[in-house]
Structure 1
Amino acid sequence: MKICTHLFGILSLSAILLLAGCGLNNNTASTNGGNASVTPSNAAEATSTPSAEKLKVKTSFYPIYEFTRNVAGDLADVENLVPAGVEPHDWEPTPQDMTGITDADVLIYNGAGMEGWIEQVLDSAGDHLIAVEASKGIEMMEGSEEEHEEEDDHAVEEEHDHGELDPHVWLSPRLAIQEVRNIEVALAKAAPQHADAFKANADAYVTKLEILDQDFRDELKDTLRKDFITQHAAFGYLAKEYGLTQVPIAGLSPEQEPSAAQMAEVVKFAKDHNVKTIFFETLVSSKVADTIAAEIGAKSAVLNPVEGLTEEDISNNLDYVVVMKQNLESLKTALNE
């Protein structure tokens, strides 16, 4: 009798262990999405995400972000430093921004004095960071150079706070192409295994920019006038590329207030040349342009330096190409008045 009881205990214990083993297998399958055939090595592969292999890229402000995003495609996590709706000229990185830059693989910036903070960042970043000046190799315009093609006593002298160079190269689609190519080279250096993909992405985006460039050439070559007044001296490269004359109210910084003498000179120029539109821009106050427009009986309109998108722009799916097409329409209208 004792032997039977002992034998029954052994069988019961075996059954419990067998059931426990089955339960363990069921739990493992559930953890792996219900697939009982997942091995430890397969599970490790299943939990590794493509994002773990992506480049971490920081960009300085909107146009550089847009160019980089199009070249990188889904092979990099691209994050912009300047937030939406913030004017980038006087933006400074926070300690949190500095940490993010230090953790990145690549930092892409415009250069030519646009990012006054860049030297501080590069001095503190680690050797692993690949820093790329997107405007490298582009022939820069002097910031103090007169934008006017006419020999006119009413030309407005500019005062600048960006140093010697005008950084606004992205406003010429042809020069934007050069920035895109510089970004392509940088990403290929950081991830050579994806060089072909970066080139294909860059080629596709450059095609869009080439079409945009041709649209500007075709639609601005026969306008009735060639001069335009803008609140911010951001359009020198665009004007030079397409045979126009930029007459800026103030200098390279949109926050710069023109002197009374500068205002008077622009008003006189506008009256003498029968200017009917004064351009202002997004992200900054339009009061200076509005004041001059009211003085001469003209209207004011937006000419966007594409230095940043607002939250509304983003919600409306605007991007560099779309905004530049809007600029083309605004210029075409004003130059044919």
Structure 2
Amino acid sequence: MLIIVLAAVVTAIMSGCGKSDTHSQADGKVNVVTSFYPLYFFAKEIGGEHAHVVNLIAAGVEPHEWTPKSRDLDAASKAQLFLYNGAGLEGWVDNFLNGLGSGSQVLTVEASKGIELIQGNPEHDHDHEGAAEEADDHDHDSEEGGEADHSHSDLDVDPHTWTSPRSALVMAANIRDAFVQADPANKAAYESNYAGLESRLRELDDKFTQGLAGFERRDIVVSHQAFGYLCRDYNLNQIAIMGLSPEAEPRAQDLLEIAKFVKENGIPYIFFEELVSEQLANTLASEAKVDTLVLNPLEGLTPEQEKAGEDYFTLMERNLENLQKALG
């Protein structure tokens, strides 16, 4: 019996390591549960002192690979707001919402609602030659018990809406509206906090618009096809090594075609991201005799970034700097 109890304690400690306590509740505040980092950041900014926000996914965990546990369902069922991206990012969300139970009073909000989604999946035909790849895999399917099927070839919509400040503006407005609906008594505070966030996002949009306007080169080669919205809004073309889900495996033919494209078009850098292996990006860069740079899809913070106080804005501004370096 003692062994069983100790095992349960160790499991509980390990499952909570490195993340916010998703069981915690705060009296007198709107309790909010978010599915991944950008929503957590926007909710914290808008909710301010009136909100207690916890994020389901720990720092350093890639959200495409994550599935909820029973403790996550318990936390969401006790909250007043549950915010998820939608557009197929959370393949587990349908079963998760069904599991909240009839007694739950949680308001569920799809933050990407109202954004013009990028349709189509270029992985279906593997056409990389000289073409901009603007669509990402989007997984609508989920399995029993909240386990998601992340088969990238099944996706047909790009879920990575938050990588563009213009889409982030829509998401932030949806989150503001959710707070007002859940807690109308503090409407003025939420609208004031949103106005500050909106101003910063519009300033970021201006920085991207002006900062990327003057370059003749418009092609970027990325490890993970996560930047369709950013490319659409700022007139760039992404050529991706892997698909919408970063665990997608490219064919050898695809890698050869991308390497050829890099060489023929003088692409100086291949972008990789921190939360997934950079092996393929490094291999391709070595083959094409170019260097690598980070382009962060902001799906989550690394533990080091979290400790250093990095956030959506600091990482997006670094993305802009690296894009300017790659396009120059």
- TM-score for both structures, normalised by structure 2: 0.83
The 8 Å contact of residues 155 and 265 in structure 1, kept in 2 or not, is answered as no
Identify unmatched segments of 5+ residues in structure 1: 1-49
The corresponding residue for 2:9 is: none
The corresponding residue for 2:203 is: 211
Once the two structures are superposed, residues 161-191 of structure 1 have per-residue CA deviations (whole angstroms, 9 ceiling, x without a partner) of 2622101110110110110000000111011
Max Rg structure: 1
Q: 1:290 aligns with which of 282, 294, 297?
A: 282
The corresponding residue for 2:161 is: 169
Is residue 91 from structure 1 mapped to residue 91 from structure 2 by the alignment?
A: no
- TM-score for both structures, normalised by structure 1: 0.81
The 8 Å contact of residues 32 and 54 in structure 2, kept in 1 or not, is answered as yes
Q: How many angstroms apart in 1 are the aligned matches of 2:130 and 2:216?
A: 21
The 8 Å contact of residues 156 and 266 in structure 1, kept in 2 or not, is answered as no
The corresponding residue for 2:117 is: 140
Counterpart residue identity of residue 92, structure 2: W
Q: How many angstroms apart in 1 are the aligned matches of 2:185 and 2:89?
A: 32
Q: 1:125 aligns with which of 94, 100, 103?
A: 100
The 8 Å contact of residues 142 and 164 in structure 1, kept in 2 or not, is answered as yes
Q: What's the secondary structure of 2:27's corresponding residue? A: helix
Q: How many angstroms apart in 1 are the aligned matches of 2:94 and 2:49?
A: 29
**5 Å matches for 1:233-272?**
233-272=225-264
Q: What's the secondary structure of 2:215's corresponding residue? A: coil
Q: 1:222 aligns with which of 214, 217, 230?
A: 214
Q: How many angstroms apart in 2 are the aligned matches of 1:153 and 1:123?
A: 43
Q: What's the secondary structure of 2:180's corresponding residue? A: helix
Counterpart residue identity of residue 284, structure 1: V
Using the aligned pairs only, state the percent identity. 42
Q: How many angstroms apart in 2 are the aligned matches of 1:159 and 1:185?
A: 28
Q: 2:78 aligns with which of 83, 100, 103?
A: 103
The 8 Å contact of residues 156 and 249 in structure 1, kept in 2 or not, is answered as no
Q: What's the secondary structure of 1:182's corresponding residue? A: helix
Q: Which runs of 4+ in 1 moved over 6 A?
A: 156-159
The 8 Å contact of residues 156 and 262 in structure 1, kept in 2 or not, is answered as no
CA shift for structure 1 position 311: 1.1
Go from structure 1 to structure 2 and tell me whether the alpha carbon gap of 1:259 and 1:153 turns closer, same or farther (over 3 Å shift). Answer: closer
Counterpart residue identity of residue 40, structure 2: Y
Is residue 155 from structure 1 mapped to residue 131 from structure 2 by the alignment?
A: yes
Identify unmatched segments of 5+ residues in structure 2: 1-24, 138-151
Q: How many angstroms apart in 2 are the aligned matches of 1:156 and 1:131?
A: 35
CA shift for structure 1 position 145: 5.0
The corresponding residue for 1:300 is: 292
Q: How many angstroms apart in 1 are the aligned matches of 2:299 and 2:132?
A: 24
The 8 Å contact of residues 144 and 159 in structure 1, kept in 2 or not, is answered as yes
Q: How many angstroms apart in 2 are the aligned matches of 1:153 and 1:269?
A: 7
Q: What's the secondary structure of 2:54's corresponding residue? A: strand
CA shift for structure 1 position 296: 1.1
Counterpart residue identity of residue 241, structure 2: I
The 8 Å contact of residues 33 and 53 in structure 2, kept in 1 or not, is answered as yes
Q: How many angstroms apart in 1 are the aligned matches of 2:122 and 2:243?
A: 11
Q: What's the secondary structure of 1:252's corresponding residue? A: coil
Q: How many angstroms apart in 2 are the aligned matches of 1:296 and 1:323?
A: 27
The corresponding residue for 1:72 is: 47
The corresponding residue for 1:47 is: none
Is residue 335 from structure 1 mapped to residue 327 from structure 2 by the alignment?
A: yes
Q: 2:28 aligns with which of 46, 53, 57?
A: 53
Go from structure 1 to structure 2 and tell me whether the alpha carbon gap of 1:70 and 1:333 turns closer, same or farther (over 3 Å shift). Answer: same
**5 Å matches for 1:179-190?**
179-190=171-182
The 8 Å contact of residues 225 and 241 in structure 2, kept in 1 or not, is answered as yes
The 8 Å contact of residues 61 and 82 in structure 1, kept in 2 or not, is answered as yes
Q: 1:316 aligns with which of 286, 308, 323?
A: 308
